Amino acid sequence: MRKKISAAILAVLALSSWAGAVTLRPGLWYGPQKIRDARIAAVYGEQEVALPYLEVQLWKGLLAGAGYEFGYERDGKIGLDRLDSTLRLSGLDLFLGYEQRWGRFGLFGKVGLGLYSYEQTIPGFDVAGFAVDHKKTTVTLSGGMTFYPVSGFFLAAEVRYVPLNVKPFESEVDLGGFRFMGGIGLAFDIY
């Protein structure tokens, strides 16, 4: 995963050098992740996740960037035997977006390609042959608003939706859902 993150950051920086005068925007999103599947949500619930990101404003509001979502790790009891289990989710998000600004305020929308991994561990239970440690590629959608209290610094709120339908055993489950996140970031010209 480190190689994918490094490659994504290099791609964002290469794209920024190609575009000419650009604004570099590193930041951090943080907030709760909701699991859409009711059965999985009942066992594991929601968890706060973090998403550090790097984006470049290429031209008149056009954004390109990459971020890594992590932090969802929950324990729960499953099955009739109430076996201990742990569910972990994380993912790399490569995105394009657009931000429209009016003075100190802005609205943005983004569409991305999410490369997610999920892992469910059940100590003492043989799950050979089942994909409980797997990867899934999906589309991500997000939108929100930004506030620039001073030049070069912003506060933001974002709603993200990640559809993540997986089939670890015989039935399909939706590990995706909404993320309601608050964020901070910097914005500075690099060319």
> Is the CATH code 2.40.160.20 the one for domain 2-189?
yes
- For the entire predicted model, the pTM comes to 0.81
pLDDT digits (tens, 9 = 90+) for 93-147: 999 999 999 999 999 999 999 999 888 777 766 655 444 657 889 999 999 999 9
Phi, psi dihedral angles at 151 (to 5 degrees): -60, 130
